[in-house]
Amino acid sequence: MRLSFLEPLYAEPGPFASVYLDTSRNVEHPERAIALRWRRLRESLSRQGSDRALLNVLEEVVGADTEVPGMHGQAVFAAHGTLVLEGELPRPPEHDSARYSTLPDAMPLITQHLPEIPYMAVVVHYGGLPTAEAHGWVTVEAETGTWPASTVTPGERLHRHVTVATWHRTSLGLGHQLDERARRAHADAVVVGGDEWACNVLIRRLPHTLRDKVVRVGGRTPTDTGRALLEPQLDGVFRGRMAAHDRELVDIFIGRRALDGPMTEGLATTVAALQRGQVAALLLNRPPGSSLRLWAGSQPTQLALIEAELMSFGVRAPREERADEALVRALVGTGAELVVVPESELRLYEGVGALLRYADPGTTS
């Protein structure tokens, strides 16, 4: 996945307050529950050293996502009395958390965006007889997004009402409109639900390239939930699946490993490649645990396994940081991508590897 959405986090130096909070509204008295959770986190941040101005900035936005229904969470980042980044989480965090640290705690936000599969959802409503001679209307709604983030941040929706008598003819032009939208979104899949007859007519008239991506789903297809079209069905379609772009990067890595091409594997060589800005995509079997540490300086590429290495580069007063925080800053700062790949798909030495932009004599795999 591309991490450019995190760039605002690193536009200014820290320290940062990073807050993850369950802001679900499918419970009794949700505002009271959110206020209680935030009070605990505010007290924790205060103990960690956050000043009142920073806490007040966070308080203004925590729980302000009242327009998002159902189960979800919120991630909020602030520094120096200013809100830096705020976003919705497609599911509540496992545990509410608040961290005040030199680097932002961005990995939980990233993992909630994974596997970031681009898709298009289409719902076709029709309640009449399966024939073009009947009276009535076919209603089509379509929406593109990236799963799972789009479940709580739906995109612009297409609405069409077509008379049944013209459905066969009109669906041809509609199919080309859907194809254009899917191309712009680089959709890996087109998930279609609704009336069987009307769906079949539309699918048969889609361009071949789009028709090959269609996944038919059953079940209820409400369109007024305030969340993504076909949200329950999307979960069943995409859970455990990798985005096509990420799969392509994994295949490239496997090919380069077989041919001794420009790649690295293992923590030491991957960190060395990040120091040189060589990494095009970092591959992880799983996000690093909070106990793994790296030494870091003030710049994204200033990271190392040991303090002495950074000091030998002329970095003054390096700090020991959580590896996940240092790695994310390095990836964002160098424009590298991140791919989390299960061990069942690709087992990496020490759980980490990288595709390189170039190789040089100092690069070892």
| High-pLDDT (> 90) share of the chain, % | 90
Q: Is the pLDDT of residue 360 over 80?
A: no
Q: Give the pLDDT confidence of 256-305 residue by residue, as tens digits.
A: 999 999 999 999 999 999 999 999 999 999 999 889 999 999 999 999 99
Is there a common fold for 4-113 and 244-356? no
Q: Is the pLDDT of residue 61 over 90?
A: yes
The more confidently predicted of residues 78 and 28 is: 78
Q: Give the pLDDT confidence of 338-358 residue by residue, as tens digits.
A: 999 999 999 999 999 999 999
pLDDT band, residue 131 (cuts 50/70/90):
confident
* pLDDT at residue 363, rounded to an integer: 55
* pLDDT at residue 359, rounded to an integer: 84
Q: Is the pLDDT of residue 13 over 80?
A: yes
Domain limits, the chain: 4-113, 117-238, 244-356
Q: Which CATH number is 244-356 given?
A: 3.30.1330.30
pTM for the whole structure: 0.90
Compute the mean pLDDT over every residue in the chain, rounded to the nearest whole number: 94
CATH architecture of 4-113: 2-Layer Sandwich (3.30)
Q: Give the pLDDT confidence of 132-143 residue by residue, as tens digits.
A: 677 889 999 999
Q: Is the pLDDT of residue 235 over 90?
A: yes
Q: Give the pLDDT confidence of 186-195 residue by residue, as tens digits.
A: 999 999 999 9
Q: Which CATH number is 117-238 given?
A: 3.30.420.40
| High-pLDDT (> 70) share of the chain, % | 98
3 state SS for the chain:
CCCHHHHHHHCCCCCEEEEEEECCCCCCCHHHHHHHHHHHHHHHHHHHCCCHHHHHHHHHHCCCCCCCCCCCEEEEEEECCEEEEEEEECCCCCCCEEEEECCCCCHHHHHHHCCCEEEEEEEEECCCCCCCCCCCEEEEEEEEEEECHHHCCCCCEEEEEEEHHHHHHHHHHHHHHHHHHHHHHCCCEEEEEECHHHHHHHHHCCCHHHHCCEEECCCCCCCCCCCCCCHHHHHHHHCCCCCHHHHHHHHHHHHHHHHCCCEEECHHHHHHHHHCCCEEEEEECCCCCCCCEEEECCCCCCEECCHHHHHHCCCCCCEEEEHHHHHHHHHHHHCCEEEECCCCCCCCHHHEEEEECCCCCCCCC
* pLDDT at residue 8, rounded to an integer: 94
* pLDDT at residue 128, rounded to an integer: 81
* pLDDT at residue 362, rounded to an integer: 56
